[in-house]
Structure 1
Amino acid sequence: MFRLPVVSLIGRKLARFAGAEQGNIAVIFAITLIPILSFVGAAVDYTRAARARTAMQAALDSTALMLSKDLTQGTITSSDISSKAQSYFTGLYTDTEAQGVSITSNYTTATASTAATILLSGSGHITSDFMQIAGFPTLGFNTASTTTWGNVKMRVALALDNTGSMAQDGKITALRNAVAGSGGLIEQLSALSKTNGDVYISVIPFAKDVNVDASNYGQSWIDWTDWLNPPTTQPANGSYQATLPMNWHAVGPGAKCPFSNSSGGFTCNASPTSKSNVSTIPPTGNTYAGYICPSVDANSHTLYNGCWTSEAAGTGVFCSGSSSCACPKDSSNNAVSGCTCTGSNGGRSCTGNLYVHNWTQPGPNDLTHNLNQPRVSAVVGFTNNKWTSTNTTPTVVNAYNQASTNPINTWTGCIADRTQPNDATGVLPVTSDVTTLFPANEYYENSASYCSSSASTQLEPIIPLSYNWSTLKTAVNAMQPTGGTNQGVGLAWAWQSLLVGGPLNTPAEDANTTYNRVIILLSDGLNTEDRWPEYGNGSSQASGNPIDVRQALMCSNLKAAKDSKGQTMYTIYTIQVNTSSPADATSTVLQNCASSSDKFFMLTSSSQILTTFNTIGTALSKLRVAR
């Protein structure tokens, strides 16, 4: 080093100036040179100290970020922070002039009201060159860096399996604790929120349907087509769609129910809102005399919300041209009164009392009743009240002109999958395109209307994005096992809950803010049923796994979605809870739906639900360096 000889040289020159007798100017110059050199030297030494401190600040910031990343990913624990901090800092801090360098670390865990932090403090000194003259042989410096968890705004949608199998092996209890219990996901994420709106969470309980709350019956985004129509006008039922019997127009009061589970998937009920099965149509003298009220559909697991009337239309031929043409039977299994058949094979013909059947939801000709209700235009009968070999397709349109026997305000809140292809998209609903609307459904399985508030095991309503942590916890803790598995409808509504402008009134986003949009989908089994009964019967899927095919397409669309900056919009975590014995196969659709392989979790015990949600909660903690 050459600096100390320089100081000695300056000292010798100053001594010569002090002893010089050649003139006053030299003495004055010598006197003023001391403070000038002190100021210049101080500036040089302070610049060197500032440079060392700046380098330390950068090293501490980088160290803090790497520590936070390690802690987030679980590669270190909080007890490793001190040693890991020293290792990272030593590799990053390369200033050769700093001496006596040391760092300390302090990790503060998150609480219900404060975010977690990592505080790193560093100190050191340099040996001064010029400030030694003023009595300062060294100049010390110190700095600090703090990482705060949760500064990126987060919107997290929880699609949670509420199906009947969740009652087994303590799964539903473990799920409630993992999400809403002490130290659960809601508390983890809420601790990251410094101000209201930093973190939002939605809760989407699902079975075959989701429950969007019956109070929404007046919303324009609901498709009432299936809910209002009879079972003979349910396109989603495919090959399971019911058909009218050829003696349809001879069926009236006192006749046997013309439907059975083998002929349509349903039988008859006593009245429009009853769930009491009857073998014959209510006879004359009853309030609902002649009403043909379909029971729950065993194929689609839905209730129909109307009945066919039986309005007398005189007597005449009601079917001809088929050997299957026959009179309806009465309760004694005899032909109904006044009905006779003649001929055989293609010449057979049957005559009897005729009835016009209308469906008891307002039709397109209803001009005085329920003007605020949707209309149905389902076909309800054969031309001229007669089936023939050339008139086999019903064409007569419903013309019920009275008040609905089951208006839409009795809907319990269930929503089924959207009409394809929008069952697999995130397109927002528009009234001009019915395929973008959400079909109302009356989900009924295992003798329960699962969306009804009076159900003993209600499928809980969706909770849109909220930062009301107590409300979210209450909703999760109220979840009960219900019905069959349709992961797709839960995933679809998790997606909708994150879309601004959709049916769940998602809060607006700031264009200048970064958002981390996350979907967590948990299910304990394979898909078994959805809106299309041909795809699954409630216990297994049809060949080719069509439910999974539709869900896989939705996952692909979700993963391909980009924001306005061209960045991937959603991070998807999927969890399969596989406690069955023998174990279910790994769900390929869940595995492939995850954003990456490390975001799919296969669990084999209920106890792993808590640790998995804790792991995800830690991974969701985003960082910002606060100096």
Structure 2
Amino acid sequence: MSARSLVSRFLSEEGGNFALVFGLTLPLLAGSAAVAVETSNVFRERAILQYAADASALASGKLLSQTRDQTELQNYARKFFYANIKGRMNADNTTLALSLVKSDEDIVKGVRVNVDYRYPTYLAPILKIYHFDMDIVSEISAGNRSIEVAIVIDNSGSMDSYTGGTSETRLEKATTAAKQLAAQLHSVGAMSTKADPVKISVVPFAASVNIGSGNRGETWMDMNGWSSIHHENIAWDASSKRGDSWGGFVETGGGYKGIKGYSQDETGTEVDWLTRWTLFDAIDVAWAGCVEMRPWPYNTTDDEPNDMVADTLYVPMFAPDEPNEKGSNEDDDYSNNYLDDYDRNSSSGAYTFGTYVSGEGYNYGNKSRQHDRQWWSMKYNSESAYSKLGTKKSRDYGYYGPNLMCTTTPITPLTTSLTTVDDAIDAMRAGGYTNVQAGIAWGWRTLSAAEPFTAGRGYDEYENDKYIIVLTDGNNTYPNQSTYNDSQYSAWGYEKDGRVFSGLTESMSLVEAMNAHTKTTCANIKAIQDADQEPAYTVFTIAYDVSDGSSVKDVLYDCASEGKNGKRYYYDVQGDAIAGAMQAIGTEISQLRLSK
């Protein structure tokens, strides 16, 4: 074999055996001072070309999620290619062509970039070789993996603010960008051979998350009042006057049961559990679908609900009727007063509104006794057809009532339907406070295979990736109230009960506590490994129109996953830039990889 043929073979080699081929060539060139220079130039220019070809193939391949036009893709590839070799080598002797890689079913799977380069040799005086032709190839195909994506979007009241100097609100721009992202992901999914390659869930959040009122009765809901927080604002045992149908009560250790036929002389028979569901039914108001944060540590985990560990069950939000202001010295700051406080007048058999009831905390001018009335369960008794209760029951509670702070539309579980996703995003409305942790936690729960939502693939399934995309425009917030409750009711209950501080070892503010729980939730998500022994979840976070110095920026940065290049998947954007951020995330998720 001649020196020329060996060198030519090396320069056109597409595999990885450069060293072997060049090793056979080298003895024929030994002794020439020009060999070292030529060898260095060959390796350098081939490496530059291969890197540039790979970069252009990857860049144009990512564009497949937006177009299949070969000319457009080729022009895009050329732009990247020549930008990468500019100033490093002579581009005059290079040509680039791009072709589409298709499956047997004529489905576009990727792109192939071919670069032809005529290398002018310096060895012409020695070997009579004036140039060599190099053929560089880079082919990429869409990663044949299935993806599950939770789109978690802040629906708090501030998302109704205009942004970017336009007449569009943050929520309008965010939802438009989210729909474009969903379409982008479905476009990439068309290149996969897996069944249901793209599944997307939608999780609106504000002060709480709505998991859907149709889930009442599910085994993972606390239907019997066994969770330690279920009776937090209900005092079944605090009053001897409970109304007609509830009779007495019995504490079982796990909850309370009513007693049928109760009297002082007869204990009667236990009947249904007395729960928040009892109160919803008593005033004929449907549960809207929001749930409270589980007690620590389960508020930060995806532990599957189990009635043997009652705190893992999900408790419906029930905002209690806050007390009336009955005297000038009582507090008028209770905002969620939707029933009049009342008591049974045993002498007349009628419900009346009293000024003083011995032992029942109805004294005028006493704020602590005023607060006691918040706990009364008898206010909600559905059997009463007396006095003013009927008119109170029939009125439109509006924003107030037992569903206070349940302001968002329900979660849309994982679905393969792009139309379903678009409809869920379009249905979003801004209102309420902000609980970023609730959004992240429920995004996680929509992707896991465990109850309550079970459409996610198991962690033992290979080549499946899970992504959580979280967008918020501001800090966690906890609604204040200058009463004995210390706050308005929320998914954390009242501040007076201190649940938001559970599990935290340091003294901190409400917002700091919410931030700490959010970070712990994110850490728990990112710690899970999949069957490929890689992180099962990738978390993208977007701070949208968030002011510098806001604590949520630190939270979102900490929550975001870290890419292989060390970059955090955290985006800090304003106005129209939200569209670019969503598109960049979609491109990252597309999972395009070099196949050759």
The TM tier, using the shorter chain, reads 0.5 to 0.7
2:558 aligned residue (592, 602, 610): 592
Question: How far did residue 425 of structure 1 move?
Answer: 1.1
Alignment of 1:322-341 (within 5 A): none
Please say if 1:613 is aligned against 2:558: no
Question: AA paired with 2:14?
Answer: A
C-alpha contact (below 8 Å) 1:573/1:599 kept by paired residues: yes
For 1:192, the aligned partner's letter is: V
The structural deviation recorded for 1:475 is: 0.7
Equivalent position amino acid for 1:439 in 2: V
- Counterpart code for 1:607: D
SS state at 2:491 partner: coil
**What does residue 202 of structure 2 align with?**
203
* Alignment correspondent of 1:486: 435
1:219 Cα offset (Å): 2.1
Structure 1 residues 126 and 459, CA gap change in structure 2 (3 angstroms)? closer
Answering whether residue 561 of structure 2 is matched by residue 602 of structure 1, we say no
After superposition, the C-alpha distances for 1:86-111 in whole angstroms (9 at most, x for unaligned) are 57579999xxxxxx963315499xxx
SS at match of 1:439: coil
Task: Note the C-alpha offset of 1:451.
Answer: 11
Does the alignment pair 1:441 with 2:317?
yes
**Residue 528 in structure 1 maps to residue 451 in structure 2:** no
In structure 1, the residue matched to 2:592 is: 623
Which residue number in structure 2 is paired with residue 427 of structure 1? 303
- Within the candidate set 226, 235, 248, 2:229 is matched to 235
Report SS of the residue matched to 1:191: helix
Residue identity opposite 1:533 in structure 2: G
1:414 to 1:114, Cα distance in 2 relative to 1, 3 A:
farther
Which ranges of structure 1 fall in alignment gaps of 5 or more residues? Answer: 1-39, 94-99, 128-136, 252-307, 312-355, 366-374, 386-395
Between the aligned partners of 1:549 and 1:208, the Cα distance in structure 2 is 16
Distance 2:228 2:457 in 1: 37
**Does residue 519 of structure 2 align to residue 552 of structure 1?**
yes
Q: CA deviation at 1:479?
A: 0.7
The residue type paired with residue 569 of structure 2 is: K
Task: Confirm whether residue 472 of structure 1 aligns to residue 427 of structure 2.
Answer: no
Counterpart check, 1:498 vs 2:421: no
The CA deviation at 1:521 is 1.1
Cα 1:72–1:583 shift into 2, 3 Å = farther
Does the alignment pair 1:309 with 2:305? no
Q: What amino acid does structure 2 have at the position aligned with 1:215?
A: G
Structure 1 distance, partners of 2:472, 2:495, is: 19
1:116 and 1:192 in contact (8 A); partners too: no
Contact conserved, 1:115 with 1:150, CA < 8 A, in 2? no
Q: Which amino acid aligns with 1:447?
A: G
> Counterparts of 2:177 and 2:268 in 1: how far apart (Å)?
53
Cα drift, residue 591 of structure 1: 2.9
Given candidates 256, 260, 275, the residue that maps to 1:377 is 256
Q: What RMSD, in angstroms, separates the aligned Cα atoms of the two structures?
A: 5.2
Equivalent residue, structure 2, for 1:417: 293
CA shift, 1:491, in A, is 0.8
Structure 2 SS opposite 1:208 = coil
Question: In 1, Cα distance between the equivalents of 2:235 and 2:402?
Answer: 28
Question: How many angstroms apart in 1 are the aligned matches of 2:52 and 2:213?
Answer: 53
Offset of 1:567 from its aligned partner? 2.0
Where does residue 66 of structure 1 map in the other structure? 55
**Distance of aligned partners of 1:46 and 1:364 in 2 relative to their CA distance in 1, 3 Å threshold:** farther
Check 1:398–1:174 CA distance in 2 against 1; reply closer, same or farther (3 A cut): farther
Read off the aligned partner of 1:531 and give its amino acid letter: A
In 2: Cα distance, 1:510 partner to 1:543 partner: 36
State the aligned residue count: 428
Match of 1:55 among 3, 14, 18: 14
SS of alignment partner, residue 200 of structure 1: strand
Partner of 1:153: 146
Deviation of 1:214 after TM superposition, in Å, equals 2.4
Contact 1:61 1:625 in 2 (8 A): no
Residue identity over aligned pairs, in percent, reads 21
- Conserved 8 A contact 2:462-2:531: no
Contact 1:157 1:494 (C-alpha < 8 Å) held by counterparts: yes
In structure 2, what is the equivalent of residue 218 of structure 1? 217
Q: What's the counterpart of residue 188 of structure 2?
A: 192
TM-score normalised by L of structure 1: 0.55
Partner of 2:361: none
TM-score relative to the length of structure 2: 0.58
CA distance in 1, matches of 2:518, 2:315: 17
Q: What is the rounded CA distance, in whole Å, between the counterparts of 1:439 and 1:430 in structure 2?
A: 13
Aligned residues of 2:436 and 2:472 also touching (Cα < 8 A)? yes
Aligned mates of 2:53, 2:428 — CA distance in 1 = 40
Aligned-residue offset at 1:203: 0.9
Q: Using the alignment, how far apart are the partners of 2:155 and 2:268 within structure 1?
A: 40
**Counterpart of 1:179?**
178
CA contact (8 A) 2:459 2:529 kept: no
Contact map agreement 1:203 1:476 (CA 8 A) in 2: yes
**Aligned partner of residue 116 in structure 2, secondary structure:** strand
Displacement after TM superposition at 1:400 (Å): 4.9
In structure 2, stretches of 5+ residues that fail to align are 17-45, 64-71, 101-105, 121-129, 163-168, 321-335, 337-396, 479-489, 502-507
Q: Which residue is 1:393 aligned to?
A: none
**Cα 1:309–1:156 shift into 2, 3 Å:** same
Contact 1:578 1:584 in 2 (8 A): no
Question: Are the equivalent residues in 2 in contact too, given 1:450–1:459 (CA < 8 A)?
Answer: no
Pair 1:459–1:50, CA change in 2 (3 A):
same
Deviation at 1:518, TM superposition (A): 1.6
